[in-house]
Chains A and B, each alone.
Chain A
Amino acid sequence: MTADMDAGTRRVYLVLLLAPLVLLAGLYLFPLSRVLWLSVTVPTPGFGNFERLLTSSAIHNVIWTTVRICVLTTTLALLIGYAIAYAALHLRGWRGELLLFFVLLSFWLSVLIRAFAWLTLLQSRGVINTWLMGAGIIDAPLPLIRNEFGVVLGMVHYMIPYAALPLYANMKGIDPRLVPAARGLGAGPVQAFLKVYLPMSLPGLISAGILTFIFSLGFYVTPALLGGGKTIMIAEYIAAQINDTLNWGLGSMLATALLLVIFALLAVMSLFVDLRKVFGVK
């Protein structure tokens, strides 16, 4: 606010600022604090729920599945996203733009629609299995869903734009003459990529990695549909605690733990990269 603003104008601005703050507090901070509160009060006050985190083998299984899937998803999404971003930047003229358009197109589609589309393709009597059996390549349908394969496939597909777009933005800032310069100095194409381009795109890889990993951790729809209740990630597990077994204490404890893990991850990452850049504030 500028100094020459009179008191009346200032008040108007403050009121305008107040509205979103009240909204944030009411719709976001209050429920969040309720979750935190529930996690240490239900069914009995104390840290009993958090103890389960250490002792329950069911929870350990879910956590392990979640971490495994998230690491796999992030790695694959980064690899594919990197290739797409690189190609989009280096293809001549409209071809690169077309590629980006397709990335954005899948970005705009609802996650639910995409999960159902994968179901249609992958289920036992789905497009792929029917075709493969019709062609006589296989006798029995391949198990493409209700397992980790299906979950990872659906999640990677969803995450590719989140990986490709920050990488694209980062690569756009790399001087296109650096690789030729390295080549001219005696580096082969692979060496030039590994020693010059890859280090230059590392900040983009880290940003994209954080984004996809954190999004993957809380993923619900895709694992629920493509995992078919067999491959259970933490978000689905939390939903089950609250909706089915009505175990609010355990559910809110897991939600709290997930939140804390994400904050911890961000704190660690902030040591290496400027988080304001990752989330586009700067």
Chain B
Amino acid sequence: MSASIRLEHVTKSYGGYLAIDDVSLEIGAGQFVTLLGPSGSGKTTLLMTIAGFVRPTRGRVLAGERDITDEPPERREFGMVFQGYALFPNMTVAENLAFPLKLRGVPSAAIQQEVRRMLDVVHLPGLGGRYPRELSGGQQQRVALARALIFNPKVLLLDESLSALDKKLRAELQEELRDLHGRLGTTFVFVTHDQEEALSMSDEIVIVNRGRIVQRGAPKALYDRPDTRFVADFLGRANFIEGAATSLSDREVSYSAGGLSLRHGLPAAGAAPQPGQPVLLGLRPEKLRLASEAPGGQANAVPAEITLVTYEGADYHIRATTPLGSMQAIVASTGGGTSPARGDKVWLSWDQDAAVVLRDDR
């Protein structure tokens, strides 16, 4: 049985410092939701509030329809995987797993069976007799996960759980986590500062900054349509174009930037920048195309001189100086032709609807 979580106007202040600033958030039952933000953004405090370790100064926390604001963590029946795992060093793996079951008065034969089953689930069969210090980081992570899941919690909370692992192991565990989520149907709330991890794992990402929710949405929607400079910058890479709108016609805005006249196709909905107003646009590096001569047609184009080429296997990461400032582009390395090189004079172009108008929250 998974539960939904609802935060209503939750505020947490430490002295004068607002760790969480009036946050309302609803997490649907069975969802995999990631709280993403830089360190100190309040995402962990938010998770700890859901877990019951942090008591909100104002506001309510609900699980389903039940108000759990004043309920201690041990009564919430949420599993939690801590940063650094927090395995009990004086207990074996099996004893760690048995701990929540013993507290619930499960008979010892059933405990043994459940421990064995759970060790299989996290791919650690036969390691029950080991102590945590005898395990690798990845194995400890799996034990922590098993311990948090063994009592069938309604919600699983994960605090920066994969951050300490090396890249390959992390990718492996990310897959396992998603697989587990799919099989168990438990609500997962995951906290991370790693945007790639957030993009690849979640049903929904909630971006947190300075104790507030900046934007939330499905990974692709967030990546393609960030609202603000912060989101565009934090989630993935982005070029920023600062200019001034010159004219507006039929969902298309003309603007000048770096002495160039450029055009931007506006989406059907949303406010349009008015002529004379400053505009900020965000442009993903992979939306840029590289050409040796000025492309004709409707696309925007700027002359550029390549200053840095980084070969990444599948693609090239290119940095170039343009009238708009330094820009980054990612182009496929499989296209054939000559490979880009430092000092090349090229044109960077992008479609009129490739950029996104952003609110400058800097």
Contacts and interface: CB of A to CB of B under 8 A. Distances in A.
B26 to A, nearest CB: 22
Interface stretch (B75-83, B196-204, B221-229, B231-239): B75-83
Interface string A166-206: 00000000010110111111111101100110011000000
B80 A184 contact: yes
B82 A183 contact: no
B103 interface: yes
Nearest to B78: A184
Counting chain A CB atoms within 10 Å of each CB, which of B82, B88, B148 scores highest?
Answer: B88
Contact of B151 (A177, A181, A185, A200): A185
A190 to B, nearest CB: 11
A175 B140 CA distance: 15
A186 B80 contact: no
Contacts of A200: 89-90
Given A188-B74, A199-B90, A200-B90, A180 B82 contact: yes
Interface in B150-199: 151, 157
A187 B82 contact: no
Contacts of A183: 52-53, 72-74
B303 interface: no
B86 A178 contact: yes
B89 A191 contact: no
Main secondary structure of the interface of A (DSSP, over half): helix
Contact of A184 (B79, B84, B87, B88): B79
B92 to A, nearest CB: 13
Contact of B86 (A181, A195, A199): A181
A186 B79 CA distance: 9
B99 interface: yes
B51 interface: yes
B103 A184 contact: no
A196 B79 CA distance: 17
A200 B86 CA distance: 13
A181 B82 contact: yes
Nearest to B103: A186
Interface in B117-163: 147-148, 151, 157
Contacts of A178: 86, 88
A191 B80 contact: no
B362 interface: no
A177 B52 CA distance: 14
Given A187-B103, A196-B88, A180 B53 contact: yes
Contact of A175 (B79, B84, B157): B84
B100 interface: yes
Nearest to A176: B86
Contacts of A189: 72
B104 interface: yes
Interface of A: 175, 177-178, 180-189, 191-192, 195-196, 199-200
10 contacts: A177-B82, A181-B82, A181-B88, A183-B52, A184-B51, A184-B74, A184-B79, A186-B77, A186-B104, A188-B74
